[in-house]
Amino acid sequence: MSQANPQSAIDNPQSIHAVGFELLGADPSCAARRARLHTPHGSVELPTFMPVGTVGAVKGVEVDRVRETGAQIVLGNTYHLTQRPGEETVAKLGGLHRFTGWTGPMLTDSGGFQVFSLSSSVKVDEQGATFQSQHNGDRIHLTPERSVEIQEALGSDIAMVLDHVPPLPSTRDVIADTMQRSVRWARRCQEHALRDGVSERQSLFAIVQGGLEDDLRQESAEQLVEMEFAGYAVGGLSVGEAPEEMYRAIEATTPFLPQDRPRYLMGVGTPTDLLEAIGRGIDMFDCVMPTRNGRNGLAFTAHGPLRLRNRRHVYDTRPLEEDCPCPACQRSRGYLAHLFRAKEMLGPILLSIHNLTYYQRLMAGAREAIEAGRFLEFKQAKQGDWAKATGEG
């Protein structure tokens, strides 16, 4: 992985990946895969769920507690970090790992989704996106090259290309145009990363776009695969479409992705979504759902959701789950319900930790089921338990 000849690296990008992928096995009854991701900061067992550290912290959860949930890799948001505190500040403080205290693998997104979903008056041209900062009103121009530079400064193990995320629903012409622009931007991200000096510490993942159009998803995947990225994400989903439409889009994409690279479904989602996507060949996930719901009093459990604000929990002496090792489950449902009624900040913290633990336990169970060749049985059993849950917890 020499930095002496960047043009050679551009001609052969496969030779410089800092992240490695080891396929350990697959379930014969579906497309579920058991694999291992190797990064400069350690290995990750796949399938995996990545907690979201929006501004360098998983909201409300101290970094050691994040580790205790079973999380192996976390995500940082480039859009938010470059505005507060700024990537230069993070770099001067030792990079995102030292800055946050997280010593394991980290992935940073490109900022593209936040630009198109959170910023007002976004203007996009071939060069990039121009928008106004939510925080101070500054005018910001984000290009593929700039996105790569920010993520290099942050120092994550995995960086994402900048893509153009279309709103759904959109016309086929709009989706095709944004998909092709995303492919062009991906090439610019790759070339800039390599010309900047080949890094032994960071790899770049591409993002497949194409909305709900099967043929556009295939076209996007095929063009990106030709560029030999270290991994491939399925983007532009979980933006309001029906679950069945999302699953179909995944099925239209994964057959055209290489077997020897990780596959990442961005911004997803519910426990059911995770299992359905694993069965369709996805390896990695991220979503704010566990912590956002935890802050609002909803706990994920093996027997469906529990809403701790409901009065039925006031005198309940049971834990959220009998076999869960998290600190929330060392207390009673009645106590947790009290914390939310009293507006005590410990309630959202404990429930966030529980939900993150639940997601990691679900992933561990999925890995074991794939190894045993019984993933579909595992998925059906879990979904059956959730379906049996009566009423709102």
Nearest 10 degrees: CA dihedral of 135, 137, 139, 144? 20
* Amino acid at site 75: L
Strand, helix or coil for residue 119? coil
In Å, how far are 56, 71, 105, 281, 390 from 101, measured between CA atoms? Answer: 9, 14, 12, 32, 41
The number of beta carbons lying within 10 Å of the beta carbon of residue 228 is: 16
Examine residue 51 and say whether the peptide bond preceding it is cis (omega within 30 degrees of 0): no
> Which residue in 294, 301, 309, 243 sits closest to 273, CA to CA?
243
Examine residue 348 and say whether the peptide bond preceding it is cis (omega within 30 degrees of 0): no
Residue 109 catalytic?
Answer: yes
- In the chain the first and final C-alpha atoms are separated, in Å, by 54
In Å, how far are 45, 94, 322 from 81, measured between CA atoms? Answer: 27, 14, 38
**Residue whose tokens read 């629903």:** 169
The number of beta carbons lying within 10 Å of the beta carbon of residue 110 is: 31
Q: Is 255 exposed, middle or buried (0-12, 13-18, 19+ CB in 10 A)?
A: exposed
Which residue(s) pair with 284 in the sheet? Answer: 48, 264
In Å, how far are 87, 120, 137, 161, 189 from 80, measured between CA atoms? Answer: 10, 15, 14, 16, 20
The residue length of the chain stands at: 393
Residue 286 catalytic?
Answer: yes
Calpha distance 335→317 (Å, rounded): 8
Which of 109, 163, 273, 283 is labelled catalytic?
109
Which of 64, 196, 286, 316 is labelled catalytic?
286
DSSP state of 268: B
CB 34 within 8 A of CB 371: yes
Alpha helices in 214-310 (DSSP H): 214-225, 243-253, 271-278, 289-295
The catalytic residue positions are: 109, 286
